Amino acid sequence: MDEVIKNESITKQSEDFAQWYTDVCKKAELMDYAPVKGFIIYRPYGYAIWENIKEYLDKRFKETGHSNVYMPLVIPESLFNKEKEHVEGFAPETLVATTGGNNKIDDPLIIRPTSEVLFSEHYSRIISSYRDLPKLYNQWCSVVRWEKTTRPFLRGSEFLWQEGHTVHETEIEARNEALSILDIYDQLGKDLLAIPFVKGIKSDKEKFAGALETYSIESLNPDGKALQCGTSHYFGTGFSEAFNISYQGRDGKLYHPYQTSWGTSTRLLGAVIMMHGDDNGLVLPPYLAPIQVIIIPIAQQKEGVLNEAKKVYQELKEAGLKVELDDSDKTAGWKFSEYEMKGVPIRLEIGPRDIEKGNVTLVKRNDGTKISASRSGLVDTINTTLKQIHEEMYNKALKYVNDHTTTIQTYEQLKEAINANSGYVKCMWCGDQACEDKIKEETSATIRCLPFNQIKVGDKCACCGKSATKVVLVAKAY
Interface residues with its own copies (CB under 8 A) are 1-2, 32, 34-36, 39-44, 47-48, 50-51, 67-76, 79, 91-102, 108-109, 111, 118, 121-122, 125-126, 128-129, 131, 137, 141-142, 144, 146-148, 157-158, 160
Report the nearest approach of its own copies to the CB of residue 121 (Å): 6
Read off φ and ψ for residue 65, nearest 5 degrees: 90, 10
Report the nearest approach of its own copies to the CB of residue 452 (Å): 32
Report the nearest approach of its own copies to the CB of residue 259 (Å): 17
| Residue 460 · residue 428 · CB < 8 Å | yes
Q: Which of residues 7 and 94 has its CB atom nearest to its own copies in the complex?
A: 94
Q: Which of residues 21 and 61 has its CB atom nearest to its own copies in the complex?
A: 61
Report the nearest approach of its own copies to the CB of residue 466 (Å): 39
* DSSP code per residue over 214-271: EEEEEEE-TTS-EEEEEEEEEEETHHHHHTT--EE-TTS-EEPPEEEEEEEETHHHHH
Q: Which of residues 120 and 232 has its CB atom nearest to its own copies in the complex?
A: 120
DSSP code at position 205? G
Report the nearest approach of its own copies to the CB of residue 229 (Å): 20
Query: Please, which residues have CB within 8 angstroms of residue 58's CB and are 6 or more apart in sequence?
Result: 68, 140, 162
Report the nearest approach of its own copies to the CB of residue 391 (Å): 30
Query: Please, which residues have CB within 8 angstroms of residue 135's CB and are 6 or more apart in sequence?
Result: 123, 126, 127, 166, 167
Report the nearest approach of its own copies to the CB of residue 124 (Å): 11
Read off φ and ψ for residue 25, nearest 5 degrees: -55, -45
Report the nearest approach of its own copies to the CB of residue 33 (Å): 9
Q: Which of residues 344 and 445 has its CB atom nearest to its own copies in the complex?
A: 344
Q: Which of residues 13 and 94 has its CB atom nearest to its own copies in the complex?
A: 94
Report the nearest approach of its own copies to the CB of residue 176 (Å): 21
Residues recorded for the chain: 478
CA 53-167-73 angle, 5° bins = 60
End-to-end CA distance of the chain: 38
DSSP code at position 204? G
- Type of residue numbered 162: Q
* DSSP code per residue over 121-160: HHHHHH--BGGG--EEEEEEEEEE---SS-BTTTB-SEEE
Q: Over the range 215-254, which residues count as b (16 or more CB within 10 Å of their CB) and which as e?
A: bbbbbbbbebbbbbbbbbbbbbbbbbebbebbbeeeeeee
Among the listed residues 283, 365, 341, 354, the one whose alpha carbon sits nearest the alpha carbon of residue 312 = 354
Q: Which of residues 120 and 260 has its CB atom nearest to its own copies in the complex?
A: 120
Round to whole Å and give the CA distance between 97 and 113: 13
Q: Which of residues 93 and 412 has its CB atom nearest to its own copies in the complex?
A: 93
CA 265-268-271 angle, 5° bins = 150
Q: Which of residues 242 and 350 has its CB atom nearest to its own copies in the complex?
A: 242
Q: Which of residues 141 and 457 has its CB atom nearest to its own copies in the complex?
A: 141
